[in-house]
Amino acid sequence: MNITYKGTAIGLSPDVYEPSEDSFLLAEAALSEIKNSETILEIGCGSGIIAAIINSNTKARVIGIDINPHAARCAKKNGVEVIRGDLLNCIKGKFDIILFNPPYLPTSEEEKNEGWINAALDGGHDGRRIIFRFLEQAGNNLSDNGLILMVVSSLTGIGVVKSKMESLGYYVEDKKQERFMFEQLKVIAAAKNDYPMNPRC
């Protein structure tokens, strides 16, 4: 199965998260922030759709990472430079932009999915388990003027996530949002300085 978005054709694969509203929202936010030839890291790249869209529409260099071996293979087939790994544990160096569409759904033991797809959905009992792990690590790989763009759901507690970002010293701003019947999705920007509040040069 293939899908096309922003002039970019993407092949999908079983056991890999199928791009949805959150994927497209993050892709739009990323395109609105990329100005020149930034270095970008996408955590949990899945099929590689966001990285591939960036490759097709900008001069930025993107590296994807995913813990799911099926996702890593799928992203590679879609032309994405990809590493298999768990969050930032195997990443060295700093990036101008770090993208993350995390597993944000609050998930009980009874709600867990079978197989690798669970890694894309299971956010722990409050939906914030992976998000908080990521935030604790991300500063080590973010350039001084860099930006984190991350999807958060109202089911996860957007205010709680923002407070966590601020407690780690980030300036925080909403970038994109979309409301559904039972859920609101937001792309939140976090930076070490007031970068999101000012236009980039």
Beta-carbon contacts of residue 78 (< 8 Å; ≥ 6 apart) = 10, 11, 47, 48, 49, 52
User: Is pLDDT at 193 greater than 80 in this prediction?
Assistant: no
Residue 10 · residue 47 · CB < 8 Å: yes
pLDDT digits (tens, 9 = 90+) for 79-114: 999 999 999 988 989 999 999 999 988 777 877 877
CA proximity to 99, closest of 45, 139, 19, 179: 45
For tokens 């993208």, the residue is: 99
DSSP collapsed to 3 states, 141-184: HEEEEEEEEEEEECCCCHHHHHHHHHHCCCEEEEEEEEECCCCE
Reported residue count of the chain is 201
Which CATH superfamily, name and number, covers 2-15+22-197? Vaccinia Virus protein VP39 (3.40.50.150)
Q: Tell me, what's the pLDDT at 200?
A: 46
What pLDDT, on the 0 to 100 scale, is given for residue 201? 41
User: Taking 80 as the threshold, does the pLDDT of residue 148 lie above it?
Assistant: yes
Q: Quick check: helix, strand or coil at residue 83?
A: strand
Say what the pLDDT of residue 197 is.
52
pLDDT tier at 140, thresholds 50, 70, 90: very high
Domain boundaries, the chain: 2-15+22-197
